[in-house]
Structure 1
Amino acid sequence: MGASLTPAGERLVVHARKILALSDAALRDLHDAESSRELRLAVTDYFRPHALPGIFERIGAQFPQLRLRVALRNSALIEEQTHTGTFDIGLSMRVLHDEYSLDVAPGERRMLGCEPMHWVADKSFVLPDGVPLPLIVLPETCSLQRFVIRMLDEHRIAYSIAHSATNIGGLHLALAAGLGVACLNASAIPSTAAPFEHHMQLPQLPEAEFSLVPPRCGEPSFVSGVREILAEHLS
């Protein structure tokens, strides 16, 4: 003889089905919310160009539903837009020089480390005698390039703008073509280039410091989580 539910049991089943349905709806809602999350990351294009893909892979593994939008910008713009809501996490660079230090926003910063800067050129590049130093630069909006040109002016070193690239990738191509000399931090120097300062009397360059700009007030927890991943793997 088969078992049957009591009247109380039948009422309990009805409630249980409603609870399970609500649970499924809640899970779907949370999944949809997670899927719609988007994180905007602004990075100075001087920062370890070859290391970033691996970092993005780690972020994707830990936050599989997160949509990551990455914009390469100059540090001055990143600092200027720190609290405007233009991006969620910003990674900028400044020159460690008392007189020329780039302006940085106040607040708590996560220092990622420092790198030496070098005058660099393609390994095959030769500067003819008596020729002004041919410079490969980024646009005038780049604070580092303004700093470099001011240093050359103050040291009375003759130079000419041989090529103006729109980004680090373009600057690397110009270096590989042997168009001239550029100023780069150590991790941004391509394998085909080498320090050039020992070829002539160029002014000594200071170090570059990289940091995560201060978080905005009320930052979502998932943004803080990504910030910690960046701080851990980039320091």
Structure 2
Amino acid sequence: MRPFDVDLLQTLVAIAETGSLSAAAPRVHRSQSAVSEQIRKLEQHCGVPLLVRGKLGASLTPAGERLVVHARRMLALSEEAFRDVLGRPLAGDLRLAITDYFRPATITLLLKRLRERYPQLRLHVATRQSLMIESRRDFDIGLSMRLLDDDVTPDEDGRIRLGREPLSWVASPALELDAARRLPLVVLPEACALQRLIIRTLNQSAIDYEIAHSAAGVAGLHLALAAGLGVACLNRSAIPAGMAILDTGLGLPAMPDIEFSILPPQPGESALVAEVRHVLARELA
């Protein structure tokens, strides 16, 4: 069996993170036509399609999604080996601001894995609302969530896109809901953009509701859901185990997808921060 070409895998990962061949090209220091040729070679090597091209960019096929998981591991190991040989470990202090909607069940394990892999890198992590992450830059790297009902351009401003997820209405299976009664809502404070969208959408849909519980963060929202206090709207990776996704029988409106991304570099960014940004993209995507 022939080994994979690491350069080809790097290009595939770049496309997965940016959402298009044109946006991936400058990241891998190649022209768009060269990137297209690399993907053709990789698909020929694998014998299956890896990308679906469309007007809005490129998306991974199921085979492509599986390969990207392996590719990120191989690239990280390659970089780690290179640093070890040169005696240049990833070292220093770095401030990371992250939305608590991002994989709350696994983010701790992911950060622990980073700490084990790069023991000399000291991450200082703060959980914040995405609005604060987008508007304030008192940190080195920010990971935020954006609603895709906004006017969002896929290739804009150097963000690293970690992926998009659907929003779903969820509740405890033990909660008894009646379409003829007010919908009990479990929400975060009004400063949360997602919660403002939820309220606005319910009002536009003429759905009668009441705030049954207001939680300070996603962890508190999970506790309220588990206690059967009401219904919440959450992105896929933030839905806690054991919750039921509600069907359309209650007349709940469809919601847009959300997207997680790492914010673009700040002016004068250090080489360490730039390196860690791409390491985080590989580990978290």
TM-score range, shorter chain: 0.7 to 0.9
Structure 1 residue corresponding to 2:242, chosen from 192, 206, 223: 192
Structure 1 residue corresponding to 2:214, chosen from 144, 164, 167: 164
| 1:219 partner SS | coil
Contact 1:55 1:230 in 2 (8 A): no
**Residues 1:217 and 2:267 aligned together:** yes
**Residues 1:86 and 2:141 aligned together:** no
Q: Once structures 1 and 2 are overlaid, which stretch shifts more, 191-200 or 34-43?
A: 34-43
**Structure 2 CA distance for aligned equivalents of residues 227 and 127 of structure 1:** 44
For 2:184, the equivalent position in structure 1 comes to 134
Q: Once structures 1 and 2 are overlaid, which stretch shifts more, 144-153 or 225-234?
A: 225-234
Runs (5+) with no aligned partner, structure 2: 1-88
For 2:85, the equivalent position in structure 1 comes to none
For 2:252, the equivalent position in structure 1 comes to 202
Structure 2 residue corresponding to 1:144, chosen from 188, 194, 199: 194
**Structure 2 CA distance for aligned equivalents of residues 202 and 150 of structure 1:** 13
**Structure 2 CA distance for aligned equivalents of residues 45 and 177 of structure 1:** 20
CA shift in 2, pair 1:129/1:50, >3 Å: closer
**Structure 1 CA distance for aligned equivalents of residues 213 and 247 of structure 2:** 19
| 1:56 partner SS | helix
Q: CA offsets per residue over residues 129-180 of structure 1, 9 Å max, x none?
A: 5220000000011010000100000010000000000000100000000000
**Deviation at residue 35 of structure 1 after TM alignment:** 11
Q: Once structures 1 and 2 are overlaid, which stretch shifts more, 220-229 or 39-48?
A: 220-229
Structure 2 residue corresponding to 1:95, chosen from 119, 123, 147: 147
Equivalent AA in structure 2 for residue 163 of structure 1: H
Q: Where does 1:1-235 land on structure 2 (aligned, <5 Å)?
A: 37-81=92-136, 85-98=137-150, 107-235=157-285
**Structure 1 CA distance for aligned equivalents of residues 112 and 267 of structure 2:** 27
**Structure 2 CA distance for aligned equivalents of residues 89 and 234 of structure 1:** 13
Contact 2:90 2:272 in 1 (8 A): no
Is the radius of gyration larger for structure 1 or structure 2?
A: 1
Contact 1:95 1:208 in 2 (8 A): yes
**Deviation at residue 193 of structure 1 after TM alignment:** 0.8
**Structure 1 CA distance for aligned equivalents of residues 174 and 131 of structure 2:** 33
**Deviation at residue 123 of structure 1 after TM alignment:** 1.6
Q: CA offsets per residue over residues 59-99 of structure 1, 9 Å max, x none?
A: 21343123211111111110001xxx41111001111114x
Instruction: Give the number of the structure with larger relative contact order, counting CA–CA contacts within 8 Å between residues 6 or more apart.
Output: 1
Contact 2:169 2:231 in 1 (8 A): yes
Equivalent AA in structure 2 for residue 198 of structure 1: T
User: How many correspondences in the alignment?
Assistant: 195
Equivalent AA in structure 2 for residue 141 of structure 1: A
**Structure 2 CA distance for aligned equivalents of residues 129 and 151 of structure 1:** 17
**Structure 2 CA distance for aligned equivalents of residues 199 and 48 of structure 1:** 28
Contact 1:118 1:197 in 2 (8 A): no
* Greater fraction of residues in helix: 2
Equivalent AA in structure 2 for residue 43 of structure 1: I
**Deviation at residue 110 of structure 1 after TM alignment:** 0.4
For 1:25, the equivalent position in structure 2 comes to none
TM-score of the pair, normalised by structure 2: 0.64
**Structure 1 CA distance for aligned equivalents of residues 221 and 274 of structure 2:** 33
Q: Which runs of 4+ in 1 moved over 4 A?
A: none
CA shift in 2, pair 1:70/1:181, >3 Å: same
Runs (5+) with no aligned partner, structure 1: 1-33
| 2:216 partner SS | coil
**Structure 2 CA distance for aligned equivalents of residues 67 and 118 of structure 1:** 35
| 1:152 partner SS | helix
